[in-house]
A and B are shown apart, each in its own frame.
Chain A
Amino acid sequence: MKEEFRDSVASVLKAECDTLRLHAYVDGRNNLDLDLWEHATQLGWLGAIVEEEFDGLGQDFSMIPLFHREFGHYLAAGDFISTHTFTATLQAINDADFSKQYLPALAAGRIKPLVPVTDDHIALEVKDGVLRGISGPLLGPAGASIGAVRATAENGDPAIAIVDTDTRGCTINDLPVLDQTRRKLYTLECSDLQPLVVLQDDRFKRADRALNTSGRLATASDSIGVGYRALESTVAYLSERQQFGRPIASLQAIQHRCANIAKDLKLAQCQLEAALAQLLNGDDDGNDSATWIALAKAECDEASTQAAAESIQLHGGVGFTWEYDCHFFLHRTRLNEQFFGSPNDLRGDALDRLTSDFRPTSQ
């Protein structure tokens, strides 16, 4: 089932999201993001982790890496991370009415969600039950109609609010980004916006954990996909490019740089697999696996950024041109690094968690 799913995603993306179409999208000559959304909708991809009773495929979180690694590999235009992340967040709230109302629509791609990619919550406040201020950066496809935003609750605690963006008092602002495969993030400007729900305390913790877990798994996998694509493109180029009467791929200095990229990607990917296994076979409520997922996400992003950076250098002059894909790789992985926690933040948090259960008398 899972392999079939991955192969189906890969074959569709290979056909629909080749490098020529991607460049045309970046240059504003097609609507590749909408086309891909249409395919994802028709093929049921967006409902991968939605329960079967809500018209999804009913799969566990192991589908997220399969899916997003392919999306990263093909530098898929638009955003698909937010749907899986938003779905996981709703599932964590476990509210029967919400589930019934939104999960089938999410699975069918009828509604497009926004999710917060940073912890920013200061500039958006909950006052007298309504939202005032401006959210941090949000990730999602163009034309979103629902969103999760981080806000400060009336008691000063961090909260997550779910909002219908078509409600009065809600404006979606564009936040253009350098990564042209994603084009933009968004912010929500709220003036006395009535949210669907404000999640605090225990519900906030559950939602926050689900959002981070799914978001980090998806982003890390996207990065790994980009990283391996960068490596493959680079090796292919080096094998064609002749200097000194031989393909430069035969030079040991070049080979070792490629081997270094490959081994760093391998380690990052194995870390992600180990973390996913801990999540799926977890013995606790997910606290522990969250640490390893965070660390794996940091490693995947950094290894892939390094692969992308090396692809520019190893391509030489053409790697530094708009026409070649190398800058797409680097833009995409650098943006990924900032989603759901930067490597520095994640590693700092991880050590906090690892030392938090310390009992001085323990052996």
Chain B
Amino acid sequence: MILNHRDDFSALRSALRAWLADTLPSDWFEHMVGATEEDSLQFQRDWFSSLESECLATAHWPTRWGGVNLSLSAQSIIYEELARVNAPMIPAYVISLYHLPATLAEFGTPEQRDRYLPAVRNEGVIWCQGFSEPGAGSDLASLKTQAVRDGDYYVVNGQKVWSSYAHGAKHCLLLVRTSNEGSKHAGITYLIVDMDTPGIDVRPIVQADGARLDFAEVFYEDVRVPVENLIGEENQGWQIAQTTLAAERGVIILEKALRWRVQLKTMLHQAQQSNAYWLQDAQLRREYARLMGKMEGVVTLARRVISENERGELRSMTPAYTKILCSELAQEIHSWRARTAGIEAQLVAPKNHLVEITNHPMSDYLRSWALTISGGSNEIMRNLIAQRDLGMPKR
């Protein structure tokens, strides 16, 4: 097992390198350029299962999530080594790997944990999330999808949006309204829904960059959800959702940041190898150096989010800062690439969606808005920083 070397970092690195060299098909990148949605999803399932054969996908799971509770430093090494070979990302598994265990660990029943967490690890079950609605984005608590109790079932009616990978998912983490009494936050309930339940209709939404996988809207019409699928108590959903959302702001960002950092160095070497024109341009050289410098700060911040989480500092503002800074920097990097790549970046070309920095700068640039908008838009983060960190009044 690679993770037997978890305390000896140089041995861990070597073991990871050897394993990646053996396991990752050398032609995987070309194979996934222009891949269909179905092929891409299947490839992610296969890669997830390879990673899991060494516990690498769930290595960050704390023991209470049923994981191996890997240290932050060792986890960073895994990310760095994956980044070094530009290994495939597995975006279809984001909810399964981060949101689900965080939510169930704190609020799930033992039966729910036993049923759903091992299934992720052993069978590669994909989950999706049903939070946002057409009328409830930044103001998530105003959500209207309704669940009415009928015997041992909730009957769900409504519409969710931005549910990534919903069509490949087996289950959904769903927020519904069970009460209109009191404040809008007080009537929200958290359910697990099987995506093959009758009455669910998943429709893909094509993204601005042409991708179809990341987005879907999901319609619920008289969908019957067993009461045992309730997470926590009825009307406790808002509080539980905060835990789910906090999971977004930890290791997910660190993995991206470490990948970008490695990629910035790789791209610089590639530019030297190909004698790229921008290396002769003093202003572009300075801009590139600045991006690399900022990335060091973002990596430091992302690590801090995790160490604060581990210490239980739940009211820290670090996640809000990290969210803005990380997403803005990614957008700057992609903007710089699109700007300097010449007219080539404006040509139609198939791309590989499973890496952070693809062969198509303009497309990456467009996709970077997913980072600045999702997970609490950067404007919401600015409100938080102004009001909670700087103490500026709400009204």
Residues of A in contact with B (beta carbons under 8 Å apart): 231, 235, 238-239, 246-247, 249-250, 252, 254-256, 258-260, 262-263, 266-271, 273-275, 277, 292, 295-296, 298-299, 344, 347-348, 350-351, 354-355, 358, 360, 362
Contacts and interface: CB of A to CB of B under 8 A. Distances in A.
A348 B389 contact: no
Contact of B394 (A250, A266, A295): A250
B154 to A, nearest CB: 37
B297 A299 contact: yes
Interface stretch (B42-50, B355-363, B380-388): B380-388
The 3 closest A-B pairs by CB, nearest first: A295-B293, A255-B386, A271-B297
Contact of A249 (B297, B325, B379, B392): B392
A263 B279 CA distance: 30
B184 interface: no
B293 to A, nearest CB: 3
Interface of A is mostly: helix
B390 interface: yes
B391 interface: yes
A267 B273 CA distance: 31
A247 B393 contact: yes
Contact of A296 (B286, B293, B324): B293
Contact of A270 (B297, B392, B393): B297
A270 B326 CA distance: 12
Contact of A255 (B279, B290, B297, B382): B382
Nearest to B394: A250
Interface in B252-303: 268-269, 272-273, 279, 282, 285-290, 292-294, 296-301
B385 A263 contact: yes
Contacts of B311: none
Pick from A247, A263, A295, A296 the residue with the most CB of B within 10 Å. A263
Contact of A235 (B282, B299, B382, B392): B392
B273 A360 contact: yes
Contacts of A348: 282, 285-286, 289
A258 B392 contact: yes
Contact of B300 (A249, A259, A271): A271
17 contacts: A235-B391, A235-B392, A255-B387, A256-B383, A258-B390, A259-B383, A263-B325, A263-B385, A266-B325, A296-B293, A296-B296, A344-B286, A347-B290, A347-B293, A348-B286, A351-B288, A354-B292
A239 B289 contact: no
Nearest to B391: A235
Given A235-B391, A255-B392, A348-B289, A274 B296 contact: yes
Contacts of B393: 239, 247, 249-250
B395 A351 contact: no
Interface of B: 268-269, 272-273, 279, 282, 285-290, 292-294, 296-301, 304, 321, 324-325, 379, 381-383, 385-387, 389-395
B390 A235 contact: yes
B186 to A, nearest CB: 26
Nearest to A255: B386
A347 B296 contact: no
B285 to A, nearest CB: 4
Contacts of A262: 321, 385-386, 389-390
A355 B265 CA distance: 10
A250 B387 CA distance: 9
Given A259-B386, A262-B321, 19 more contacts: A235-B391, A238-B392, A247-B393, A250-B393, A255-B383, A256-B382, A259-B381, A262-B389, A270-B298, A292-B296, A295-B293, A295-B296, A298-B293, A299-B297, A344-B286, A347-B293, A348-B282, A348-B289, A360-B273
Contact of A350 (B282, B293, B297, B298): B293
B393 to A, nearest CB: 5
Contacts of A249: 392-393
A296 B294 CA distance: 8
Nearest to B284: A351
A350 B289 contact: yes
Contacts of B297: 267-271, 274, 296, 299
Nearest to A269: B297
A267 B382 CA distance: 15
A266 B392 contact: no
A274 B381 CA distance: 24
B269 A362 contact: yes
Given A239-B393, A267-B298, A273-B300, A259 B289 contact: no
B385 A274 contact: no
A256 B382 CA distance: 6
Contacts of B389: 262
Pick from A249, A250, A267, A268 the residue with the most CB of B within 10 Å. A267
Contacts of A360: 272-273
B271 to A, nearest CB: 8
B272 A298 contact: no
A255 B387 CA distance: 8
Pick from A250, A254, A255, A275 the residue with the most CB of B within 10 Å. A255
Contacts of B394: 250
A329 B73 CA distance: 39
A351 B288 CA distance: 8
A296 B290 CA distance: 9
A231 B385 CA distance: 13
Nearest to A352: B285
B313 to A, nearest CB: 16
B273 A266 contact: no
Nearest to B288: A351
